[in-house]
Amino acid sequence: MARLPFARSQVTQVFGPRDFPQDPFHKGIDFGSGVSVGLAVPVASAGIVIGSGQSAAINFWKEVDHGGGWTTRYHMLGSSAGPGIGDRVSEGQTIGFIGPKFGVSTGVHLHFEVHNKNQSRPGYGSAVDPLTNINNIPSPGVPSPEEEISMIRIQSPGRGSALIGPGFFRPLRNAEEIEQSTPVILRHVNGNDRQFDIWRALAVGG
């Protein structure tokens, strides 16, 4: 069963509307009590890292896909350290580390979001209240060793190669990784970049 990264008692800002002009629709919850810079952030449930980046508003962030349209996001990280896009993570594994006060934030904290990509609401998009939806996240969200034999290797001129399967996507970054993937694939498929993007979207969406 999925778990919040930290205890409910450490939540300092809840999900929902708030009096904050820069971001009036708070799309997650903030853990600001009892946390400090450099504290390890555990993943809520097993899954695949599908997003990672940095912005002027939320510093470093990562997104994990758990299957069935459910994802979690971790904002206000201090760096990109830890698992990257395409990596499988297990429940409780460190996804990153809390960063310093950043942007318009009022203090050091972890901003945590839960998304249900099967729905959308004005102002919030696919974001839902983590406190009431954490138990709806599927677990585990990664293929078992028996399921890995259903993997397909895809390739296109502009995207390179990747391994895909039900709810799974992993880029293959060099010739060695491509060669090592051969024993676990059903077949290899060549296509154009548009086809590659469609295959990736279908895989990540389950």
Local confidence pLDDT in tens for the 206 residues of the chain: 789 999 999 999 999 988 877 778 899 999 999 999 999 999 999 888 988 999 888 999 999 998 888 999 999 999 999 998 888 888 889 999 999 988 777 799 999 999 998 899 888 899 999 999 999 998 654 444 444 446 788 999 999 998 887 767 778 878 877 887 777 688 888 989 998 888 888 776 54
Within this chain, do residues 30 and 76 fall inside the same structural domain, yes or no?
yes
pLDDT for residue 139: 62
Q: Give the CATH number for residue 127.
A: 2.70.70.10
- Nearest alpha-carbon partner for 110 in 3, 17, 13, 197: 13
Q: Note the residue count of the chain.
A: 206
pLDDT for residue 103: 75
- Return the exposure string of 90-105: e unless at least 16 CB atoms fall within 10 Å of the residue's CB, then b: ebebebbbbbeebeeb
The 3-state DSSP class for residue 126 equals: coil
Within this chain, do residues 30 and 73 fall inside the same structural domain, yes or no?
yes
pLDDT for residue 204: 65
Which residue range is the domain that position 71 belongs to? 8-136
The secondary element (H helix, E strand) that includes residue 180 is helix 175-181
- Are 163 and 181 spatial neighbours (Cβ–Cβ below 8 Å)? yes
**Pick from 86, 110, 136: which residue ends a domain?**
136
Within this chain, do residues 15 and 88 fall inside the same structural domain, yes or no?
yes
Cα–Cα–Cα angle for 141, 89, 191, rounded to 5 degrees: 70
Q: What is the largest CA-CA distance in the chain?
A: 55
pLDDT for residue 205: 58
Within this chain, do residues 13 and 83 fall inside the same structural domain, yes or no?
yes
**Pick from 90, 116, 136: which residue ends a domain?**
136
pLDDT for residue 150: 64
**Pick from 94, 113, 136: which residue ends a domain?**
136
Q: Is residue 142 part of a domain?
A: no
- Are 89 and 51 spatial neighbours (Cβ–Cβ below 8 Å)? no
